[in-house]
C-alpha cells in the first residue's frame, strides 16, 4: 500500500478495526481488479463513501498532519517488527510494547493459528 493509501486506511480505522479492514480490502480490489489510481485523493474518498464513511470528514482527516503522523508511526512499528515484504502478519504488542512477525508470506490458516497460539503462550509466560 502506498503512503497515501496507507493513510486512507488509518483514517478509516478511526471508525474501527473492521472498517479499516473493509477499506483496505476495497482499496486493494480497486487497484488490482479495477485498475483505479489509489494514490489520488478523489479515488480514496470515493472508496470511503462507498463504504458509508462521510466523504468530507474522510478527506479532511486524510489531509491532516495527524493522519500523516499516525501513518508514519504505523510504518515505524512495521519496520521495528521486522516486516520486509507482504503479506506479513504481525502480532503484539507484548508487555514491553514489542511487536513481532508471526508469518512472512502466505501461510495456511491452520499454520497461522498454531503460530499465534505459540506466540501468545510465550508472551504470557
Fold of the 3-70 domain: Cyclin A; domain 1 (1.10.472)
The per-residue b/e assignment along 31-62, b for 16 or more CB within 10 angstroms, e otherwise, is: beeeebebeeeebbbebbeeeebeeeebbebb
On the question of a cis peptide bond just before residue 87, with omega within 30 degrees of 0, the verdict is yes
Residue 28 per-residue DSSP state: H
pLDDT tens digits along 25-39: 999 999 999 999 999
Which pLDDT score, from 0 to 100, does residue 115 have?
85
Residue 65 in grid coordinates: 498532519
Q: Note the pTM of the prediction, 2 decimals.
A: 0.74
On the question of a cis peptide bond just before residue 93, with omega within 30 degrees of 0, the verdict is yes
The yes-or-no verdict on residue 94 having pLDDT over 80 is no
pLDDT tens digits along 9-66: 999 999 999 999 999 999 999 999 999 999 999 999 999 999 999 999 999 999 999 9
Name 100's bridge partners. 91
The ranges assigned to domains in the chain are 3-70, 82-124
Amino acid at each position: 500500500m502506498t503512503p497515501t493509501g496507507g493513510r486512507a486506511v488509518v483514517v478509516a480505522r478511526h471508525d474501527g478495526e473492521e472498517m479499516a479492514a473493509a477499506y483496505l480490502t476495497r482499496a486493494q480490489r480497486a487497484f488490482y481488479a479495477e485498475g483505479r489510481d489509489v494514490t489520488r485523493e478523489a479515488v480514496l474518498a470515493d472508496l470511503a463513501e462507498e463504504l458509508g464513511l462521510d466523504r468530507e470528514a474522510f478527506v479532511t482527516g486524510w489531509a491532516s498532519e495527524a493522519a500523516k503522523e499516525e501513518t508514519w508511526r504505523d510504518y515505524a512499528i512495521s519496520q521495528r517488527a521486522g516486516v520486509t515484504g507482504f503479506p506479513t502478519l504481525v502480532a503484539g504488542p507484548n508487555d514491553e510494547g514489542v511487536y513481532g512477525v508471526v508469518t512472512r508470506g502466505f501461510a495456511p490458516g491452520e499454520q497461522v493459528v498454531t503460530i499465534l497460539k505459540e506466540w501468545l503462550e510465550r508472551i504470557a509466560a
